[in-house]
Structure 1
Amino acid sequence: MPPPPSLVSSILCFLSVFIFTSSSTPNTITLPLSHVFTNHPSSQPFHNLKLAVSTSITRARHLKNHQPNPLKTQIHPKSYGGYSIDLNFGTPPQTFSFILDTGSTLVWLPCSSHYLCSNCNSFHNAPKSFIPKNSSSSKLVGCTNPKCAWLFGANVESRCCKQNTATANCSLTCPAYTVQYGLGSTAGFLLSENLNFPAKILPDFLVGCSIVSVYQPAGIAGFGRGPESLPSQMNLTGFSYCLLSHQFNESPETSDLVLHTSSSDKKRTNGVSYTPFRKNPSSKNPAFGAYYYLTLRRIVVGENRVRVPKRLLEPDVDGNGGTIVDSGSTFTFMERPIFDLVAQEFAKQVNYTRAREVEKQSGLSPCFVVSGTASFPELRFEFRGGAKMRQPLTNYFSLVGKSDVVCLTIVSDDVAGTGVAGGPAVILGNYQQQNFYVEYDLRNERFGFRSQSCKTRV
């Protein structure tokens, strides 16, 4: 069942608008990065927080259970609780905001003068559409174009090109894509278009031209591990960002997303700890190949290691288990067996009264009543290679509602059990990436981070 319009309105009105500027060098392209926020904060104190909880869980379910269809793209976008960038497409350029999503691969935008967005009429701003006929560089992608196979597989030509004895030519276009996900859908056709930066133009960039959507008025910039993703098409050696803290209210502040194009063999960025990416061993679900998997060795609360069974922290032969990092998820998600162990460890180490009513209202748990100066044990994620992500307290406990209640900002679903339900067992969301410099080193196949205060732009 689709969510009620009021819920979707609150989510998608988070979309931010900012001015396209550049501080690029010959080896980098720098874009402003801003949170997705609401222009009309809810008068209900728990509304935005509970919304972030429910959407984080919904996204986790989609990432974990996504089943690719040969006639559909492997994408699972969300346009809330995340961060957006501006990109320019076409000749002359047309500018649009896109949600930055490392958990999907296709770059797509609202498109054509006939764009229809169902259940989008309550949004603060009407969807802005890309108009292909106004661009001299816009071309439909043909069925025989190798880029069509990026989405639909190597045998797409035999499916869509009905050759006969009269001609061996195939003039049909690439099939239309349909993207379905937890809170909506989008559909359209593929274009070859210019992607424009202040000092660089990328011709023949594959972009989705969506002509109909549900609950999805804004585009998605897929930064995942796939040939159609923005990093792959630009042949980036990496990208990095530093996410400003969530305020869950209107803010004009932005930080930078840096696209690295240098071919230098720089070994490491100063002060950054690295852990290698890993592949999901399963070929049964190609969707898992789009994710950035990490090897999470252990979770530590205070001085105590949480005894998470190893089988949950590594993908099995069916592809279930393991950890991914995802900019499109708000709160970190943990499978119920892992979450319960972490929550129990916090409950054992603190001496505060549980705020059960706030837990019901916010969707977060555990919550505690505190007074004066509160003290909580450190949360630490330890990865393969020795990298340790020490979370600032504000990244995993947050004041909720009343000023004397704090809640753990990690979520799980209501499915209890002893194994992995399917897909990644831990999804490291953007809330737990706040005020970290984060680096996706694609050349060296590794993920890096260091704690730092993110600079802002206004």
Structure 2
Amino acid sequence: MGNSKFHQKYLIFLIFLLLQICSVFVQSKQSNHSSTLSNTVMFALKAQQIPPGSIRRPASKLPFHHNVSLTVSLLVGTPPQPVTMVLDTGSELCWLHCKKNPGLNSLFDPVHSTSYSRIPCSSPTCRARTRDFTIPASCDPIKLCHVLVSYADFSSMEGTLAMDNFKMGESSMPGVFFGCMDQGFSSSSETDSRTTGLLGMNRGSLSFVTQMNYPKFSYCISGQDASGVLLFGEANFAWLKPRSYTPMVKVTSPLPYFDRVAYSVQFEGIKVGGKLLTLPKSILQPDHTGAGQTMVDSGTQFTFLLGPVYTALKNEFLAQTRTTLKELGDPNYVFQGAMDLCYRVPLTQKGYPVLPTVTLMFQGAEMSVSAERLLYRVPGEVRGPDGVHCFTFGNSDLLGVEAYIIGHHHQQNMWMEFDLVQSRVGLAEVRCDLASQRLGLGL
């Protein structure tokens, strides 16, 4: 979730808590997939400016790119149709924009796929109680499973729960559940809003990684050329540094504000330029309602912190940069509704002065954010001879979000490993552009 699911990525994390009957059904499907994904699968990841609204198994790899949203290219249907999907560790349900009207330049046309099937509303998958749907899935007039999902920016979309064949590289995956969405999109461009889909990658029963029965996946996002790699399976490479692991936080009982299928870790503190902020431990831990969890989310661009922690970080960063950066001086300007610390940087200036490193501390691991990852040039915003550059941390309270969200901008040049078997997240600093080259993706 986030203002990629707040503004840029109009998608917020979609949460599924399925009934046991659905889990058994999905697991039986997964066993049929095991023989199809026996080879390493790697994808090139890309990053695209997406308009708003709009097991131990051998590894698999894909290239990707990043900027506002991390995207990966797949093939869906028979014959295969190319699709571009946002890689989202904060969501569960995969979905595609589906063609509804003849002539509309939409992404996926189920009519032209002989392997496409729609899920009836009598299916256990449709009847399952899930938090992913704002209202429970229901029957449409022709007895198909009708689903509706809503996001933090108050947009929503709806369509039919469906199943079709997905293909990644040389690996084929028959019968993947996804949402075939065909109405309710919000975008300034009718066509642009239908140029992508979402690849749900959290720990829920219907996520892509769960349906494919992968116990582990990794990605690495370059900070230089908007590219990277997504890898399914083991990542045992001589050039890759040992990972530091932080355990996932487990909550067994349902809590209203805790996402139990997110990649939730324990936040332990923040250092600015080596100075540890004075923060009460209680504010960094989920409370009795589940509010205050910390989620690692590839679907959010920036990082968002609860109000008191954000304010402490903002004040310390201001204090340490008072002589090197010029504040914007406009108290009414708030980037993406949650980022109110912005600066004026001359358009002719190349790079930034030396900035204090911000280190996010987790149980057993740290993530350091430095240099250009600390500030973001706001496209199109100019004040005289200066561009507007905003601090890449925001205030969750301003968004009405009761959580800490670690976005993908701060995961650049980090090997991010999600181990579902041992319930942990691994981090290792690495040049992700070089990692992509070493893996032969030729980005």
Consecutive unaligned residues of structure 1, counting only runs of 5 or more, are 1-6, 13-23, 40-54, 59-78, 117-125, 162-170
Report the counterpart of residue 313 of structure 1 in structure 2: 284
Report the counterpart of residue 203 of structure 2 in structure 1: 225
Consecutive unaligned residues of structure 2, counting only runs of 5 or more, are 1-5, 11-35, 54-65, 187-192, 437-441
Report the counterpart of residue 71 of structure 1 in structure 2: none
Determine whether 1:31 maps to 2:58: no
Report the counterpart of residue 341 of structure 2 in structure 1: 366
Report the counterpart of residue 336 of structure 1 in structure 2: 307
TM-score (norm: length of structure 2): 0.72
Cα displacement (A) at 1:172: 7.7
The one-letter code matched in structure 2 to 1:256 is V
In structure 2, C-alpha distance between the alignment counterparts of 1:308 and 1:88, rounded to whole Å: 47
Match of 1:98 among 85, 105, 112: 85
C-alpha distance after superposition, 1:25-75 (max 9, x if no partner)? 944311111111379xxxxxxxxxxxxxxx8xx9xxxxxxxxxxxxxxxxx
CA 300–179 in structure 1, closer or farther in 2 if over 3 Å, else same: same
Say if 1:108 and 1:210, in contact at 8 Å, map to a contact too.
yes
In structure 2, C-alpha distance between the alignment counterparts of 1:345 and 1:83, rounded to whole Å: 31
TM-score (norm: length of structure 1): 0.69
CA-atom RMSD in angstroms: 3.9
C-alpha distance after superposition, 1:178-219 (max 9, x if no partner)? 111134221111112111233322222101111213224221
Cα displacement (A) at 1:405: 7.3
Say if 1:281 and 1:319, in contact at 8 Å, map to a contact too.
no
CA 413–93 in structure 1, closer or farther in 2 if over 3 Å, else same: same
Moved over 6 A (4+): 158-161, 369-373
Say if 2:245 and 2:426, in contact at 8 Å, map to a contact too.
yes
Report the counterpart of residue 21 of structure 2 in structure 1: none
Taking the TM superposition and a 5 Å limit, the aligned residue runs for 1:388-407 are 388-398=366-376, 407=390
Identity %: 28
Alignment length (residue pairs): 367
The one-letter code matched in structure 2 to 1:366 is L
CA 174–295 in structure 1, closer or farther in 2 if over 3 Å, else same: farther
Match of 1:408 among 373, 378, 391: 391
Report the counterpart of residue 189 of structure 1 in structure 2: 160
Report the counterpart of residue 182 of structure 2 in structure 1: 211
Match of 1:380 among 350, 354, 359: 359
In structure 1, C-alpha distance between the alignment counterparts of 2:130 and 2:344, rounded to whole Å: 52
The one-letter code matched in structure 1 to 2:108 is F
The one-letter code matched in structure 1 to 2:146 is A
Cα displacement (A) at 1:374: 2.4
CA 398–315 in structure 1, closer or farther in 2 if over 3 Å, else same: same
Taking the TM superposition and a 5 Å limit, the aligned residue runs for 1:30-429 are 30-37=42-49, 81-114=68-101, 127-150=105-128, 152=130, 173-183=143-153, 184-215=155-186, 216-217=193-194, 218-245=196-223, 254-260=227-233, 270-280=241-251, 283-285=254-256, 288-352=259-323, 354-357=326-329, 361=333, 363=335, 364-367=339-342, 374-385=353-364, 387-398=365-376, 407-412=390-395, 415=398, 423-424=402-403, 426-429=404-407
* Secondary structure, counterpart of 1:142 in structure 2: coil
CA 135–111 in structure 1, closer or farther in 2 if over 3 Å, else same: same
Cα displacement (A) at 1:292: 1.2
In structure 2, C-alpha distance between the alignment counterparts of 1:143 and 1:341, rounded to whole Å: 50
Cα displacement (A) at 1:322: 2.2
